[in-house]
Amino acid sequence: MNQPLEKRTLRQEIIKQRDALSAFERAQLSLAATYKLLAWPLYQQAKTVLLFAGVRSEIDTRFLTEQSLHLGKLVAMPRCVPKKRELLLLKIESWQELQPSYYGLLEPSCTAAAVSLSELDLVVVPGIVFSPDGYRIGYGGGYYDRLLARRGDIPTIGLAFELQVVGSVPQDSHDIPVHFLVTEKGIRECRADQEERMKKGDTDERGSK
């Protein structure tokens, strides 16, 4: 199976599983993951965070967003610029400011104040499929990979349901893994999985760069 087809197949399968969750299950799993993230010292110490607004069957991030604002954090949300294939980072002060826009996403108004990438202490990254070593499959636009390539030192956290975590995912040379994964089951340090794979000599074509 070629890599684009393998990615598409994985993407479709995980979306199907995610869509199969009931509204109650989605809400409970979202809260469980959110509480783990909010209780984590790395997140508690962050003053400026980039979050995303979960839509459709994605993990619900409304409570995370509202609690982060309540805790006094500066919260930025992304706004897609399809023509440039880039993300604008815009400040929000309430969930109600978000508006349906490109691809059905909830995004800040284009008139919201910009937040510089250099201001961020932490980025919470969406995705459809994640591997334990932090690689991810998104919707195929590459927006987050391009954003994170501009600042490699910033801690990145993949936030998802446990069902979205699989043994491995196909990788391209431009893919940037997240540092941590947070699900309803707990917090993983992906770097530890990457180092373990290297020790075992797991350098097959899927993982080589």
Q: What is the CATH number of domain 3-199?
A: 3.40.50.10420
| pLDDT on residue 85 | 87
Helix then strand then coil, % of the chain, to nearest 5? 35, 20, 45
Q: Where are the domains of the chain?
A: 3-199
Q: Among 10-14, 120-124, 129-133, 193-197, where is mean pLDDT lowest? A: 193-197
With bands split at pLDDT 50, 70 and 90, how would you rate the model's confidence at 203? very low
Q: How many helices (H) and strands (E) does the chain have?
A: 6, 11
What's the Cα-to-Cα distance from 112 to each of 57, 75, 88, 90, 94, rounded to whole Å? 27, 12, 10, 6, 12
d(CA 29, CA 23): 10
Strand residues in 108-172 grouped as ranges (E): 122-125, 129-130, 136-137, 156-159
Q: Which residue has the tokens 């199976």?
A: 1
CA neighbor of 145 nearest in space, from 171, 183, 112, 108: 171
Q: What is the DSSP letter of 114?
A: B
**Of the segments 56-60, 170-174, 195-199, which one has the largest average pLDDT value?**
56-60
| pLDDT on residue 204 | 47
Q: What is the DSSP letter of 163?
A: G
pLDDT tens digit string along 137-180? 998 888 999 999 998 899 999 999 999 999 999 988 888 999 99
Q: Side-chain half-sphere of 83: how many Cα atoms within 13 Å? A: 0
| pLDDT on residue 197 | 53
d(CA 96, CA 129): 28
Mean pLDDT, rounded, for 127-136? 96
Residue 29 above 80 pLDDT? Answer: yes
